[in-house]
Amino acid sequence: MKSYLLDTHSFLWSILEPEKLGKQAQIILENTDNKIFVSSVTLWEISLKYSLGKLKLGCKPNELLKTLDEMGFEKIPLTVEEAALCYQLPRLAHKDPFDRMLIWQAISHDFDLISKDDKFDNYSQFGLNVIW
């Protein structure tokens, strides 16, 4: 069994617009043997962008928790250790703190990261595997 972490757009597309997902991502999400994780960082980013009016959902961010459970996704919290150690991630391509934390969590937990963002590829030298 393999474990994957959805980044924010991959999570939103998986529930709202699955046709936007890459073919490999779709195959992974359809395979019930895979463990799919969504970070608390992702929900934080969604909630923040929603409150600023930068993200339209058709529902409130907290309502996504039910959908997350219905889809069988696992929740992963941000631990204080991860927050304290994130500074160790070199600043290569990503300056966005949400993306950097997702990179850090994926590497720390040995998850493959499901993302369309090609900037994540810069972190392969640190053990990050990106799937799309």
pLDDT in tens, 36-51: 999 999 999 999 999 9
CATH number at residue 78: 3.40.50.1010
Greatest CA span in the chain, whole angstroms?
38
- 94 pLDDT exceeds 70? no
Tell me the percentage of the chain whose pLDDT exceeds 70.
98
Instruction: Give the pairing type, strands 74-76 and 129-131.
Output: unpaired
Domain that holds residue 59: 3-131
Rounded mean pLDDT of 113-129?
Answer: 92
Comparing C-alpha atoms, which of 22, 46, 18, 12 is closest to residue 112?
22
Tell me the percentage of the chain whose pLDDT exceeds 90.
85
Question: Hey, what are 18's tokens?
Answer: 């699955």
What's the pTM value of the predicted model, to 2 decimals? 0.93
**What confidence score (pLDDT) does residue 86 get?**
85
Of how many residues is the chain composed?
132
- 96 pLDDT exceeds 90? no
As for how many domains the chain has, the answer is 1
Please tell me what DSSP assigns to residue 58: S
